[in-house]
Amino acid sequence: MINDIISDSLTRIRNAGMRKLETTKLLHSKVVEALVGIFQAKGYIESFNVIEED
């Protein structure tokens, strides 16, 4: 279980950027989705999708 989903998401994004990965997976929450939306609006990331998994 991850206690701090925001710092986990930021770390995953930072690590993906350092490795020059085109995609990465984040755990979903409304806060993370809003944060990633802000990153997209500011040009830090190109795009994001929410994919529902069973």
* Predicted pLDDT at 47: 94
Number of C-beta neighbours around residue 35 at 10 A: 17
* Predicted pLDDT at 16: 96
Domain limits, the chain: 1-54
Q: Scan for tokens 């930021």, then name that residue.
A: 10
54 residues of the chain, pLDDT tens digit each: 568 999 999 999 999 999 999 999 999 999 999 999 999 999 999 999 999 886
Burial 15-31 (b: 16+ CB within 10 A, else e): ebeeeeeeeeebeeeee
* Predicted pLDDT at 4: 93
